Structure 1
């Protein structure tokens, strides 16, 4: 099982004002929530470890996870309310976020709420997004990652929301601790620019940042560049190997959940090929990485065609077909 740790919340998609009310649609969401569902839809055993409220929204979140086949036995139920994330469209097709969650269940989870030991079937843990930066949740997840590092694969997606992160200096300090134990790091163009001051179109700067993560202990670093596709950097005995996959031309509904789908699909493909454990990572080849990266880009492109975070199934991704540029690399 791949255990996804972090927040589950309600995304409130806000539309136009008709003069009397705002058009709005409440949808289960949260980056780790999306990753867990995407993993299950891609046919991999997935679990969710995050604080779920006992309120109506929390019941909906737990129900959605369960219906998609995600194991919620390690997700504590708390009486605190569910976080509401307000999502508004931008003219470029991207979206803006504002979170209303002070004292909410996803942020209130503490070390005592997390399992003292994990089931033997947990091969990998995926961490990411806003809950890493707010305590007590962030400190609890960090302690879990540090405890399991070296025994299970640790994957990290910063998924920074700079507009709602109150203290970027504190965020960077917390991320540095997570990066120190991460085997796989996935970072978006926004993460690189807003969180690390890296221009994602500067190939030399991007490579230097990725190699810094590899030198710090990561085995695989993936950077996503929106319509420009994604790049992966692999630590090998001969140095750094880089593989790139171009973006797919699709009709974009919105980009909500695209990065979450890519993260999940990358892990799912590695897991399906028996490469998502300590031994598998050591044998990971550049061709393996190219295959997994192409699969992940395909999956993310399908999510972009749909409103909201609605990850595809394995059959849908396989029907899309591999990119010619990624084959045989």
Structure 2
């Protein structure tokens, strides 16, 4: 079983003004939630570990997880509010973001209330701002450290400066998680923010030397790359009519994990043993999945039947 750890939230888009206020369009979101639902659509057994509100928005998030057949037994329900990411567009068409998450339900995980993992857990997936805010951040980082010898640890930083603007803190979190993770997937955009003086290749080499077995870097329209200590491969981006890129990185991560599962490679030793041909096949599968998401509005991730066996 896969267990995805992180946050769930609502992206709230500001609409037109009305005589008494403004129209709002709330969309289900949160990178870890997307990964969990992406894995479920790709026919992987997956549970979601997260603090989730019992307010109306939290109930909608809960219903979405159930509809996608994600195991919800690890959710910590509370009456703390749901996190909101409010998106508006200025006169020049540039989006602006306001984040409302202090004291929200997805930050309420602590060592005292952390649920026990199912015995069938094989992979723990971590990512996004839940690792960088408290008390949930230190709780999840400790969970990764505790389970590293028993489970495969996967990590996607998914840096969100509108939540935590301190880059030094993000670097500290990312470096710790990279030292714990067997698989790190990261975007070149995040690497540019975190390590402007290093090339992606240099960062990948440093993480591999520190114990990571596989590093994958996404480069948007320039494709993707992957490294182990012994092999390297690249894959081009797949041509597609892009509607938007919402959820593309999360789809890529879910597809990486799915390919590895289907090829019996979800152990640190199996990751390290992948050759260049296998790495390229892995990247092409994940790229194709992400392209499908880009061709549709929002984080509408593909199902297994839409991808080659």
Structures share a fold, TM > 0.5? yes
Alignment of 1:1-329 (within 5 A): 1-15=1-15, 22-88=22-88, 97-116=97-116, 118-197=117-196, 205-236=199-230, 241-318=231-308
Q: Is the 1:255–1:304 Cα contact (8 Å) retained in structure 2? A: yes
In structure 2, C-alpha distance between the alignment counterparts of 1:290 and 1:159, rounded to whole Å? 23
Secondary structure of 2:82's aligned partner: coil
| SS of equivalent residue, structure 2 residue 293 | helix
Deviation at 1:20, TM superposition (A): 7.0
Q: CA RMSD in A?
A: 2.3
| Contact 1:36-1:264 at 8 Å conserved across structures | yes
5+ unaligned residues in a row in structure 1: which ranges?
Answer: 200-204, 320-329
Q: Deviations over 1:24-82 (max 9, x none)?
A: 32111100000000000011111100101111111111111111111111111122110
CA deviation vs aligned residue, 1:274-320 (integer Å, no higher than 9, x gap): 1113453344333222212111111111111112111111111239x
Answer yes or no: is the 8 Å Cα contact 2:12–2:87 preserved in 1. yes
User: SS at 2:98's partner residue?
Assistant: strand
Aligned residue number for residue 323 of structure 1: none
Q: Which SS does the other structure have where 1:318 is aligned?
A: coil
Q: How many equivalent residue pairs? A: 309
Q: Is the 8 A contact 1:132 1:138 kept in 2?
A: yes
2: CA distance, partners of 1:160 / 1:98: 15
Q: CA distance change for structure 1 residues 95 and 209 in 2, over 3 Å: closer, same or farther?
A: farther
**In 1, Cα distance between equivalents of 2:17 and 2:240:** 29
Q: Following TM superposition, by how much is the alpha carbon of 1:151 offset from its aligned partner in structure 2, in angstroms? A: 1.4
Structure 2: gaps (5+ residues): none
CA offset at residue 88 of structure 1?
4.6
After superposition, the C-alpha distances for 1:124-148 in whole angstroms (9 at most, x for unaligned) are 1110001110010000000100000
Between the aligned partners of 1:288 and 1:94, the Cα distance in structure 2 is 40
Looking at structure 2, the residues matched to 207 and 280 of structure 1 have their Cα atoms a distance apart, in angstroms, of: 22
Q: Secondary structure at the match of 1:13?
A: strand
Q: Distance in 2 between matches of 1:143 and 1:305?
A: 38
Residues 1:89 and 1:128: Cα distance change in structure 2 (over 3 Å): farther
Instruction: Tell whether the 8 Å contact from 1:187 to 1:223 is kept in structure 2 after alignment.
Output: yes
SS in 2 for 1:50: strand
SS of the counterpart of 2:75? coil
Q: Residue by residue, what CA displacement relative to the aligned partner does 1:215-246 show, whole Å, maximum 9, x if unpaired?
A: 0110110111111111111123xxxx211111
TM-score (norm. length: structure 1): 0.87
* Gap change, CA 1:96 and 1:192, over 3 Å in 2: farther
Quick one: structure 1 residues 150 and 216, their matched pair in 2 at CA, closer, same or farther if it must change by over 3 Å? Answer: same
Mapped to 2, the partners of 1:150 and 1:209 lie a distance apart of: 24
State how far apart, in whole Å, the 2-side matches of 1:158 and 1:113 are: 24
TM-score w.r.t. length of structure 2: 0.93
Cα distance in 2 for residues equivalent to 1:223 and 1:92 = 32
Q: Check conservation: 2:228, 2:272, Cα contact below 8 A.
A: no
Shift of 1:164: 3.3
Going from structure 1 to structure 2, the CA distance change for 1:286 and 1:134 (only over 3 Å counts) comes to same
- In the alignment, is the contact (CA less than 8 A) between 2:84 and 2:101 conserved in 1? yes
Tell me the alpha carbon deviations over residues 145-185 of structure 1, each in whole angstroms, 9 at most, x when there is no partner. 00001211101100002243232212211222111111011
